[in-house]
Amino acid sequence: MSAKILLIYTGGTIGMVQSHATGALKPFDFKHLKNEVPELQRLSITLESISFKEPIDSSNMHPRVWIQLAEIIEKNYREFDGFVILHGSDTMAYTASALSFMLENLAKPVILTGSQLPIGIIRTDGKENLITAIEIAAAKINNQPAVPEVAIYFEYELYRGNRTLKYNAAHFDAFISPNYPVLAEAGVNIEYNSNYILKKTKKKLIVHKHLDNDIVILPLFPGISKKITSSVLKINGLKAIVLHTFGAGNAPTEDWFINEIAHAVKSNIIVYNVTQCIEGSVIQGKYETSSLLKKAGVLSGEDITIEAAVTKLMYVLALPLSLAKKKELLLKNLRGEISSNK
């Protein structure tokens, strides 16, 4: 029996074709997908598709869309063997990260992909990305899903969704996973790195449909002023801050800065320390410049990406838990987003 895959088109470059009349790019009807990508007819996979009524540019991505995607997957979870989400590349890592937290006990593949060039352009990277993403979503090893987690496929490599970031706007290899190995590599064959893929759970899928976006990212830079810092930390209704720090989680040690951070923590605002470095980890206490943050009650994000940190906070803040329990969850490895075993 062939695998059954649901293709979900949210928008983005991959879903565009060139108008024969004007030459302009326009979204195409995914009901006619096999006309645009005839290679799909050669796959022994049953393919169905859902398209958003109004395609979304990924720059306009929003938590309400993540909830919509989670609901589509929940509604169709029993009927399909896997899911492929077509998405603009700019915010794909945010969506993949969010879904990884929202789909607790996920036991089927949810593969996001897209392209740098529209599928209707001769040199497009979209066809290969689409075909291979579908193959991965349908793949089984020992009669079990090969990749039972949320992942991103782009330019011959499969990455854990919440470990991924877009780093290149000019090349086809737009994504990297700096602190975690690739899950699979597509060459002549698709080689799965099974040791790095999450194990399938037998627990029932739990879909979390509430997110809290009362957060802010505060990127540090030499010369950041007290006036600006104070105004950010005193935003009305603020619940959490991603403190985007230097190196291994370092920040200025000036009294006013540490006092502002400590005051925010005492005001029940979560402060989450995430490094500006692409590779490496926050190690609070390694240097004096981070030990003061630890003493003030700042939480270490370890080697989490900024995309995963933002979406993990949205997910955790919306849970009906005490502040202490929420902080505890932020320090834990929930979906493979950090290297800690806590």
Q: Which domains does the chain have, with CATH numbers?
A: 3-207 (3.40.50.1170), 215-331 (3.40.50.40)
Q: What is the mean pLDDT of the chain?
A: 92
Q: How far is CA 254 from the centre of its chain?
A: 34
Are 96 and 150 in contact by the 8 Å Cβ rule? The answer is yes
Q: Which amino acids are annotated catalytic?
A: 13
The mean pLDDT of 315-333, rounded to a whole number, is 98
Confidence of residue 169 (pLDDT cuts 50, 70, 90): confident
Confidence of residue 28 (pLDDT cuts 50, 70, 90): low
> What are 64-80's pLDDT values in tens digits?
999 999 999 999 999 99
E-state strands within 175-306: 175-176, 184-186, 190-192, 206-207, 215-219, 240-245, 270-275, 299-300
For the cut 70, the answer to whether the pLDDT of residue 34 exceeds it is no
Q: Of residues 40 and 33, which shows the higher confidence score? A: 40
Confidence of residue 137 (pLDDT cuts 50, 70, 90): very high
Per-residue pLDDT, 290: 84
For the cut 90, the answer to whether the pLDDT of residue 191 exceeds it is yes
Per-residue pLDDT, 149: 98
The mean pLDDT of 293-320, rounded to a whole number, is 97
For the cut 90, the answer to whether the pLDDT of residue 121 exceeds it is no
Provide the token pair at 141: 């090893």
Helix (H) or strand (E) holding 73: helix 63-76
For the cut 90, the answer to whether the pLDDT of residue 286 exceeds it is no
In whole angstroms, give the CA distance from residue 136 to residue 149: 11
Confidence of residue 300 (pLDDT cuts 50, 70, 90): very high
Per-residue pLDDT, 219: 97
DSSP 8-class letter at 88: -
Per-residue pLDDT, 118: 75
How much is the pTM? Answer: 0.93
In whole angstroms, give the CA distance from residue 148 to residue 276: 30
Confidence of residue 14 (pLDDT cuts 50, 70, 90): confident
Per-residue pLDDT, 42: 79
Per-residue pLDDT, 185: 95
